[in-house]
Amino acid sequence: MYELDEKKYLYLLAIIPVLVLVFLYVQYWKRKKQREFGDLEMVQKLSPEKSVFKPALKFTVMLLALAALIIGLVNPKIGTKLETVKREGIDIVFAVDVSKSMLAEDVAPSRLEKSKQIVSQIINQLGSDRIGIVAYAGSAFPVLPITTDYSVAKMFLQSMNTDMVSSLGTSLDDAIKLSATYFDKGNKTNKLLIMISDGEDHGEGAEEAAEEANKIGLKIITIGVGTEKGGPIPLKRNGVVESFKRDGNNEVVVTKRNQESLKEIAKATKGGYVDGDNTKAVLEYVKKALDNIEKTEFEATQMADFEAQFQWFLGIAFSLLFLDIFFLEIKTSWIKKMNLFNEKES
């Protein structure tokens, strides 16, 4: 197993084919000028010790040194072994509302982006807990199964958008039912579902689904985003607002947060509701809730002892650059014996 520490430097490898093209053009230009100067064979006899092979060799060595230097900047790491790590924590699933009403900007930058910020900051303050992610609108969609890899979770989180689920509405019951399948019923690890939504346009059966979840020991914390005053749903193209969503009477739709439905869901599992507009309050509430939940020991297999390998590539790069100093652009005895490029005199 391996990983690349600074992948952004891989783009520098694009310099190499550019340099090859420049080198070939310069050789072509030199050859052309030599022909303009006089007979090519006669010009070569004026500098009999000039090697055709050596410039190409020096250039190749330079390219190899440059490639090794770039890979050294990338800093590849090799994992030497797999090990099983014992951790203490709980299983947490984040269910994020991605319905169209989450595009409303009554909270900055939008309800959906605010939700992602909240989840990301909650993840930042977790310790050894396992997490999963569900997206839902009119139906629910699994985004990420239970994992201990927080960096991957954040990557999937940022990719969430309102086009992930085509169904209209906000099916809170589907989100609860799907989230419940993330947890192993035979596992004694404590379970927590954190739902982020504006609570609007929810389907029937959310409270019943929450009561069923309570039977398997699943506690639900609901976080409401948006304001009670509400706001319109912008329709954008290339990030620019062109209009707002309208109803059948051509009136601009105003979407409002419905915290009552979210409170009922949380109450059914002896969980809690918190206003998501105040991020600091949310983080404090969730932290306090997590502190009051008993942690369970579980095992996680992961690659350990990733060792940096950049020093080898930097060593190769500097060795090649040092070697390049001794490559003079004149013929040497072993080159003459090989007669590369027909460099012997006839």
**CA distance linking residue 157 with residue 115, whole number of Å:** 10
**CA distance linking residue 104 with residue 224, whole number of Å:** 13
Q: Are residues 121 and 260 in the same domain?
A: yes
CATH number for position 155: 3.40.50.410
Q: Are residues 140 and 21 in the same domain?
A: no
pLDDT at 74: 87
**CA distance linking residue 107 with residue 231, whole number of Å:** 9
The pLDDT confidence band at residue 225, using thresholds 50, 70 and 90, is very high
288-302 residue pLDDT tens = 999 888 887 766 655
Q: Are residues 90 and 236 in the same domain?
A: yes
**CA distance linking residue 151 with residue 147, whole number of Å:** 10
Higher model confidence: residue 88 or residue 119? Answer: 119
Amino acid at 345: E
Q: Are residues 162 and 119 in the same domain?
A: yes
Higher model confidence: residue 57 or residue 226? Answer: 226
Q: Tell me what percent of the residues of the chain surpass a pLDDT of 90.
A: 32
**CA distance linking residue 214 with residue 183, whole number of Å:** 13
Q: Are residues 195 and 70 in the same domain?
A: no
pLDDT at 288: 93
**CA distance linking residue 255 with residue 257, whole number of Å:** 7
**CA distance linking residue 78 with residue 309, whole number of Å:** 7
pLDDT at 341: 47
Does residue 52 have a pLDDT over 70?
A: no
Q: Are residues 267 and 318 in the same domain?
A: no
Q: Are residues 212 and 334 in the same domain?
A: no
Q: Are residues 159 and 178 in the same domain?
A: yes
93-152 residue pLDDT tens = 999 999 988 999 999 899 999 999 999 999 999 988 889 999 998 889 999 999 888 989
∠ CA(171), CA(174), CA(178), 5° rounding? 145
The pLDDT confidence band at residue 309, using thresholds 50, 70 and 90, is confident
Q: What integer is the mean pLDDT of 325-335?
A: 58
Q: What integer is the mean pLDDT of 5-34?
A: 86
Task: Give Dmax (Cα) for the chain.
Answer: 98
Higher model confidence: residue 66 or residue 38? Answer: 66
Q: What integer is the mean pLDDT of 301-309?
A: 63
Structure tokens at 140: 């629910």
Does residue 267 have a pLDDT over 50?
A: yes
By the 8 A CB rule, do 340 and 53 touch? yes
Q: Are residues 283 and 318 in the same domain?
A: no
By the 8 A CB rule, do 171 and 202 touch? yes
Q: Are residues 207 and 332 in the same domain?
A: no
Q: Lowest-pLDDT range, 11-25, 108-122, 244-258, 299-313?
A: 299-313
Q: What integer is the mean pLDDT of 70-86?
A: 74
Q: Lowest-pLDDT range, 67-76, 187-196, 298-307?
A: 298-307
**CA distance linking residue 69 with residue 320, whole number of Å:** 10
Q: Are residues 25 and 146 in the same domain?
A: no
**CA distance linking residue 128 with residue 304, whole number of Å:** 16
Total domains in the fold of the chain: 2
Q: Are residues 216 and 132 in the same domain?
A: yes
Q: How far is CA 203 from the centre of its chain?
A: 33
By the 8 A CB rule, do 184 and 217 touch? no
Higher model confidence: residue 319 or residue 310? Answer: 319
3-state SS string for 312-335: HHHHHHHHHHHHHCCCCCECCHHH
Q: What integer is the mean pLDDT of 279-293?
A: 92
Tokens 């990030």 sit on residue: 239
Higher model confidence: residue 20 or residue 325? Answer: 20
Domain span at 270: 84-300
Q: What is the DSSP letter of 340?
A: G
For 108-134, give one letter per residue: b (16+ CB within 10 A) or e: eebbbbbbbbbbeebbeebeebbbbbb
Bridge pairing between strands 91-97 and 191-197: parallel
The pLDDT confidence band at residue 156, using thresholds 50, 70 and 90, is very high
